[in-house]
Amino acid sequence: MDSNKKLGLIGRNISYSFSKKFFRDKFQKLMLKDISYDIFDLKEINEVEGLFSDPQLLGFNVTIPYKEKIIDYLDELSDEAEKIGAVNCVVIQEGKKTGYNTDAFGFEKTLLLHKKNHHTSALILGNGGAAKAVQYIMDKNGIPSQTVARNSEINFENLDAATVQKHPIIVQCTPVGTFPNVDDCLKFPFEGLSDKHLVIDLIYNPSYTQFIINASGKGAKTVNGYYMLEQQAEKAWEIWNFQKK
């Protein structure tokens, strides 16, 4: 890589960040001294234009709440980012800005690691950028899914235990319960869960959200977002490196 290249993460209120530690550890292991990974906390998405003017910037990850909003600032999207309608990885090469979605890759690896034959349909809780990546992977793997969001047909007010029983995969894609608000929990009929359920909460901090604790109490197999996060970061690294070769 060229001297003193920069990578980073854009989002809002992102002082805590898995990515920063992950990439700094990676650079140390690979003995890369000429590359840095920083947090770019943007109050508004248009502040990204200031970042784009930095010639050392090779690319960045994107987190809440900009995975969809960043698209207007990019020149091109990969196939999966276009289909999903959300971006969490941006590459800048010779001034051209391309968006990718590595959340989908990370989620698919998580899902296939834990999915059993009886896990035939899913409820996706939330409808932001991460939920769109989850939906894309469900479609890709032929798993029928329904979105539960504030304004969807099934919403957090009318979701009942019977509906939960019918969907053995539950994916929690909202930020409710993320550090520091660890006592918060999405309104959800946990009594509909059983040991036949696979419950994936995309949050990784804390490791055990209130949602996971409640689901686990009903016998469900529970998984947090850590492996997905690790896998999407590895994929982003692969994309940034490939562009430089």
Active-site positions read 67
Q: Are strands 76-77 and 122-125 parallel, antiparallel or unpaired?
A: unpaired
CA distance 35 to 93: 16
Q: Are strands 5-11 and 59-62 parallel, antiparallel or unpaired?
A: parallel
CA distance 163 to 110: 24
CA distance 34 to 172: 38
Give the tokens for residue 136. Answer: 């894309």
CA distance 198 to 215: 9
Show the CA angle centred on residue 109, arms to residues 243 and 236, nearest 5°.
20
